[in-house]
Amino acid sequence: MTLRLYDTAARATREFVPVTPGKVSIYLCGATVQAPPHIGHIRSGVSFDIARRWLEHRGYAVTFVRNVTDIDDKIIRKAAEQGVETWRVAQANEYAFQQAYRVLGCEDPSVEPRATGHIPEMIAMMQALIDNGHAYAAGGDVYFRVRSFPEYGALAHFSVDDLEEQPVDDVAPTTHKEDPHDFTLWKASKPGEPFWDTPWGPGRPGWHLECSAMAHRYLGTNFDIHGGGVDLIFPHHENEQAQSHAFGDKFTNYWMHNGWVTLKNEKMSKSLGNSVLVTELAKQYRPVVLRYYLGTPHYRSMIEYTEDSLREADAAYSRIEGFVTRALETVGPTESAADVPAAFAESMDDDFGVPGAVAVLYNTVREGNTALAGGDKEGVASHLASVLKMLDILGLNPLAEPWSGAAGAAGSGTDLRPVVDTLVKVALEQRQAARERKDYAASDAIRDQLARAGVNVEDTPSGPRWTVNQ
Ligand SMILES: [Zn+2]
């Protein structure tokens, strides 16, 4: 079975053939670091983390680039409002994004380049585009001449003439443009704004140019997959592709776009306030539950945000965890299986079909629970190993980093589980001793004290089991 991907440019699912056998290169448009992330911002990180894990499982060596846009109008405006340098606002929010990705179990990218660290590459690209007639400098700005490039519109499927009614590049002044649809590569700086010197005067990069320059720098002239949210298809990705193709790069072979997290059917926006910030939600729900919530729908579908859906995610993940815990008590420490069930693989190979794969996971959990009920230890062990392997691919294995030992620590990175384990064990031994001498008042008192500390004790046939209240 070969991997097939839905390619936005082709509007069709295509067989995946890598540029270089055995390797996959991915460029994902990362955050514009103007504010800390809400749950919608992290969705693409989780979706592409699962895709990456599946590609690695399929034996590919993956190079994963996720950029940081650390200069733009909103960052400049926020910095001015706060009376600080733009880099302070950008860096603080870059840390917040990094933390959120890690808290939700996303592996770090191979490289996380910042726009402001790649100005020479952008200048070289603009110079080449000016030299070959696809760009021009005017009034300190540099523009891409869209009518010089017949392919413009190939990704988003339109022709420039269809654009008359659409908003053109709304942040750039149009006064210097030869054509209102030309888009900005570089903006002349206004007084008081950060700037970099170029042959065309002091200025700063436009958003689109950054990604073309950084993709070229890290992934070369041709790479496998370019990803981002569905709202980036136009203008951002259309413009990236036009620049890169006009520059002479073959650029990406597949375009993958993830859906939004919506609120009342609209894209989540920053105006929602703090309630949906990752840091706030992680106080109410374990980060692994937030990952389950973001990662288990198909990456191309929209996720409607509701409190209920988060509670459902919590209940669903707890059922899987419950099986893992009971199975471990029955068969002891168990490694993940070497491979996933064939039906799981089939779903994942079909455009990263996580919902189908999760259905296989649930079937396996159900069969595992049946084996538990029937005292079939071998059955329990094989189903547990299989479940753990599937959870590894989804980044949801409760026994693996960063969840193992987290015990609700919300990704603080401090693994207190062994310490708590030892303390609770001492208390439980004392409780057991009290029970053996029939001092039930003492044994109940120990149990109550543990409960007040947030530790629930449950007596099971294989001895007492404890869990920490979340
Ligand atoms: Zn981009």
Q: 414 C-alpha vs ligand 1 centroid, how far in Å? A: 34
Hey, how many other C-beta atoms are within 10 angstroms of the C-beta on 277? 19
What are the distances in angstroms from CA 6 to CA 1, 13, 22, 155?
Answer: 16, 4, 20, 13
Q: 456 C-alpha vs ligand 1 centroid, how far in Å? A: 48
Cα–Cα distance measured from residue 262 to residue 272, given in angstroms and rounded to the nearest whole number: 12
The model's pLDDT over 284-310, given as tens digits with 9 standing for 90+, comes to: 999 999 999 999 999 999 999 999 999
Q: 337 C-alpha vs ligand 1 centroid, how far in Å? A: 37
Q: 230 C-alpha vs ligand 1 centroid, how far in Å? A: 12
DSSP state of 386: H
Q: 11 C-alpha vs ligand 1 centroid, how far in Å? A: 20
Q: How confident is the model at residue 338 (pLDDT cuts 50, 70, 90)?
A: very high
Res 408: pLDDT? 40
DSSP 3-state assignment of 137? Answer: strand
398 alpha-carbon distance from chain centroid: 19
The model's pLDDT over 408-438, given as tens digits with 9 standing for 90+, comes to: 433 334 445 556 767 787 888 888 888 889 9
Token pair belonging to 363: 């079937």
Q: 287 C-alpha vs ligand 1 centroid, how far in Å? A: 27
Q: 229 C-alpha vs ligand 1 centroid, how far in Å? A: 10
Token pair belonging to 262: 């919506």
The kind and range of the H/E element at 39 are helix 39-57
Q: 211 C-alpha vs ligand 1 centroid, how far in Å? A: 5
Q: 67 C-alpha vs ligand 1 centroid, how far in Å? A: 8
Structural contact between residues 467 and 456, judged by C-beta atoms closer than 8 angstroms: yes
Average pLDDT score over residue span 377-404: 97
Q: How confident is the model at residue 470 (pLDDT cuts 50, 70, 90)?
A: low
| Residue partners of 253: CB distance under 8 A and separation at least 6 | 17, 19, 222, 223, 224, 225
The full length of the chain comes to 470
Structural contact between residues 139 and 176, judged by C-beta atoms closer than 8 angstroms: yes
Ordered alpha helix ranges (H), 58-118: 73-82, 86-103
The model's pLDDT over 305-325, given as tens digits with 9 standing for 90+, comes to: 999 999 999 999 999 999 999
| Residue partners of 290: CB distance under 8 A and separation at least 6 | 39, 104, 278, 281, 282, 310, 313
Cα–Cα distance measured from residue 118 to residue 11, given in angstroms and rounded to the nearest whole number: 32
Residue 456: beta bridge partners? 467
Q: 244 C-alpha vs ligand 1 centroid, how far in Å? A: 12
